[in-house]
Structure 1
């Protein structure tokens, strides 16, 4: 017989500083793990506080309350007879660390601080924490509240591992999986050095956010780590909106010797999801005998081990023929279109239920951007009704509160259109410059998804503001088509857009009152990543909202998403949105002229997507962007034409960069998101002539043209 071990990892929908709720979810995950026979439970990174506390990690209260929560776990009957790996911040000698606390039966066995901190893109861990030196182990003096429970004065803190009677367990924390240094001399990557030292089970507790097409990398790294070294790998992750722009996408995993044997959901409305597997530890040992590791293993410095007086395997389990090791599975990935349908929808649900709002309000223009936002809300309603029909009591309780039903009501969401009607309000805000086509498209879409739709005209409001200006200045601005200047033309467009924002917030505050319901609505924005990057929107127009589910998604991806949604949700009217020319409809329509977004911008959405990726992901300035594109587009454009496009992009990018400082908080979905507040840290006041850079481009263009 082998040695069968049942282990558990989980995804928890934790919320920054929600100590009560976070504790409840931790204890529930422990109960579920024990019900499945697990003797080891691993939770996500910083699960006691929530990952996204940001500068709250600099406050002493955060550490005090974390230890207070730990007292509840240590004294809980649920936490008995199972080895627990819990995440929380710990201050040691007045230095703050991101830690795992390993405990068993009311005793703390080890505090393991994070060795390598995430400090790029969305992550600023080195602002709050300090990395722990590899292999260093010290004594940590416990707070009195913990000493009174455990009877311990000090516990070890450092880069060490836990031994049980039958195996050895090590910790790798999120970023440490991604560290590139894999030198056999330094062995700085924990899972490599631990595996060579005979550690057979490695946990990884993460706070990893969703980004389109990102999951492949995470899964491949875990498979590669266990294929090359052998071993069991338990990956836990946060799931849900932690209180900011990120959505942590769960997908807890268990891997064995390079194969995935258990996988949790990536997008779910569940607050607690536990993934378990039963493993024969002998499979690890036999695999390690078949790979080239013996020479390095024999020369690897040993980790300091601390004993847990327990065995993960249970002899009575080994003797039961109906219990067998978990078989390998084929890991599952969503398509990018499904990711757009599910990720922002789950984020919107978390935001709605935690903000205590009564629903969402969306200015629905009849274009593909606001259409995409509306479909994501509909997807949210479908997820809610599906979960309610599956009996998820937490979702049902939240749904009743949001739509104004009493706690003792028997209302259960069963139809996404009916649920959508209760909480989602859409509004077409037309002017004399709006077309019948966009008005009709907006109404038909609202009818299909079931939103509470309002159709109104704003000409009286716009004309009143313009008359006020004329009364004060004795000047009357006119559109360019009527002989006005570019300045007049732009001002007359912008006043329409900005007044839509004012009207949106008025209706968002009062529509629940009109419908005899409590609370207010959150206003949704619908400016896509490409338009934000180019600055092709009016500052403080109806793109200024409470949150924006598509603010970091490209126009190209949105079009593919709408194509997918048409078939997935059987909404035929979406064809009309796909075939329509993108237009702001802020200028007069004539027989010879209809305003078009790409013509206004002077570049296509496909070009914008390329510019965005080169600027943010490949870190290109004007000269290096031109140098790349002159080769990429060399078959279709002359160097002078490429230079013109690059210059146009950087001019408009720089003169509109100030708009990013007021950008509506958006769901982070794309690695070239222009979000100024968290992700894209660049100046907002530029010398928009780019004299030096453009001169270097011109010099290179001249050389290339002469050689062509």
Structure 2
């Protein structure tokens, strides 16, 4: 966390459909690996404790009970882990079933974020099983904890790392015209995690990459996207474990068809600076009805992301030549406009690299 860098991880554990005990073990093992690697935030796939493609098994009480038992197992096994983890599971609330991200740390549930936008087209049938997030958050008892906030749009703010605030949305939430992450960023979230189960089609990875990088640019945030992997591929759908980490429009790290952990570092200090400079979002005061806090042990962050020694000079010759042509064209157009405006017939031009 030195100089504002926060280590973030996306994970795609091995998975067996409807085998919640097995999935719980794979989940806490991945959390331990993330902690060992120095990650402070870990995002796991959508409905990872049961599997996304369980279909009508989501109606079964047995599966829902096993999912809650799996969450208990994960909490008990990770009570000494500091990494803030978002894992996916179905959860019953007031006899409605929700597709949820459960945010945990040190064996405690920090909050539960239900999915807002449910896809119900093509190969997706989520409205058959799940209800969308309710309009207002509420507190409810869950697995022995008396008060757990349940609702979309929550912001999880770190008490001892300035500027670090987390928000989470689920898969289709990003593809919708009004993603929950927009309001979360306005409320101060500087890192957004997305738990996803987006199947792979030819060309879909490029569109997904554009969505993630553009959302991080629009919201001046870090964005960590973790999609489901091969364990889901039991029918004609293929899931490629697409993992992406972006910061302010720049793709920092990416992995497909491999599973495991993807790590990079988000420069939260820089994001806060950009928000102050542009006044687009500000640093946010948070939503009083939808905010939880956590703490982290401060220490040095080992950088794995690429830092270019010449950030304004493209590396490849073709890109470099194109950049030079564009600079010359822009300078020429600016000069042309000045000469036309002043009515000058002749001119002596000195190029200094500045406003000249």
- Shorter-chain TM range is 0.7 to 0.9
> What is the rounded CA distance, in whole Å, between the counterparts of 1:205 and 1:76 in structure 2?
21
Q: Which residue does the alignment assign to 1:123?
A: 124
Q: Which is strand-richer, 1 or 2? A: 2
Matched residue SS, 2:111: strand
Matched residue SS, 2:214: helix
> Residue by residue, what CA displacement relative to the aligned partner does 1:212-258 show, whole Å, maximum 9, x if unpaired?
11111100011111112111111011011422221111121111111
Deviation at 1:299, TM superposition (A): 10
Among 265, 270, 295, the residue aligned to 1:278: 265
> Residue by residue, what CA displacement relative to the aligned partner does 1:162-220 show, whole Å, maximum 9, x if unpaired?
1111221101110010002xxxxxxx421211112211010000001010111111000
May I ask how many residue pairs the two structures share in their alignment? Answer: 302
Q: 1:219 to 1:328 in 2, by over 3 A?
A: farther
Q: Which residue does the alignment assign to 1:174?
A: 171
- Given that residues 78 and 106 in structure 2 are in contact (C-alpha distance below 8 angstroms), is that contact kept between their aligned partners in structure 1? no
Alignment of 1:294-333 (within 5 A): 294=281, 302=287, 304-311=289-296, 314-317=297-300, 323-324=302-303, 326-327=305-306
- Given that residues 3 and 281 in structure 1 are in contact (C-alpha distance below 8 angstroms), is that contact kept between their aligned partners in structure 2? yes
- TM-score (structure 2 length as normaliser): 0.79
- Given that residues 11 and 44 in structure 1 are in contact (C-alpha distance below 8 angstroms), is that contact kept between their aligned partners in structure 2? yes
Check if 1:248 corresponds to 2:231. Answer: no
- Given that residues 27 and 79 in structure 1 are in contact (C-alpha distance below 8 angstroms), is that contact kept between their aligned partners in structure 2? no
Among 222, 226, 230, the residue aligned to 1:232: 222
Q: Which residue does the alignment assign to 1:54?
A: 55
Q: Which residue does the alignment assign to 1:31?
A: 32
Deviation at 1:15, TM superposition (A): 2.6
> What is the rounded CA distance, in whole Å, between the counterparts of 1:298 and 1:81 in structure 2?
25
> What is the rounded CA distance, in whole Å, between the counterparts of 1:48 and 1:27 in structure 2?
11
- Greater RCO (Cα-Cα under 8 Å, separation 6 or more): 2
> Residue by residue, what CA displacement relative to the aligned partner does 1:488-533 show, whole Å, maximum 9, x if unpaired?
xxxxxxxxxxxxxxxxxxxxxxxxxxxxxxxxxxxxxxxxxxxxxx
Deviation at 1:115, TM superposition (A): 0.6
- Given that residues 279 and 326 in structure 1 are in contact (C-alpha distance below 8 angstroms), is that contact kept between their aligned partners in structure 2? no
Q: Which residues of structure 1 form unaligned runs of 5+?
A: 181-187, 330-708
Alignment of 1:184-195 (within 5 A): 188-195=178-185
Among 140, 160, 164, the residue aligned to 2:158: 164
- Given that residues 232 and 255 in structure 1 are in contact (C-alpha distance below 8 angstroms), is that contact kept between their aligned partners in structure 2? yes
Deviation at 1:106, TM superposition (A): 1.6
Q: Which residues of structure 2 form unaligned runs of 5+?
A: 309-356
- Given that residues 279 and 325 in structure 1 are in contact (C-alpha distance below 8 angstroms), is that contact kept between their aligned partners in structure 2? no
Q: Which runs of 4+ in 1 moved over 6 A?
A: 298-301
Q: 1:115 to 1:56 in 2, by over 3 A?
A: same
Coordinate RMSD, CA, aligned: 2.2
> What is the rounded CA distance, in whole Å, between the counterparts of 1:10 and 1:289 in structure 2?
32
> What is the rounded CA distance, in whole Å, between the counterparts of 2:80 and 2:198 in structure 1?
26
- Given that residues 5 and 268 in structure 2 are in contact (C-alpha distance below 8 angstroms), is that contact kept between their aligned partners in structure 1? yes
- Given that residues 149 and 290 in structure 2 are in contact (C-alpha distance below 8 angstroms), is that contact kept between their aligned partners in structure 1? no
Deviation at 1:267, TM superposition (A): 2.1
Matched residue SS, 1:282: helix
> What is the rounded CA distance, in whole Å, between the counterparts of 1:196 and 1:257 in structure 2?
15
Deviates more, 1:34-43 or 1:188-197: 188-197
> What is the rounded CA distance, in whole Å, between the counterparts of 1:161 and 1:72 in structure 2?
25
Q: Which residue does the alignment assign to 2:205?
A: 215
> What is the rounded CA distance, in whole Å, between the counterparts of 1:235 and 1:68 in structure 2?
26
Matched residue SS, 1:289: helix
Deviation at 1:153, TM superposition (A): 2.3
> What is the rounded CA distance, in whole Å, between the counterparts of 2:32 and 2:286 in structure 1?
37
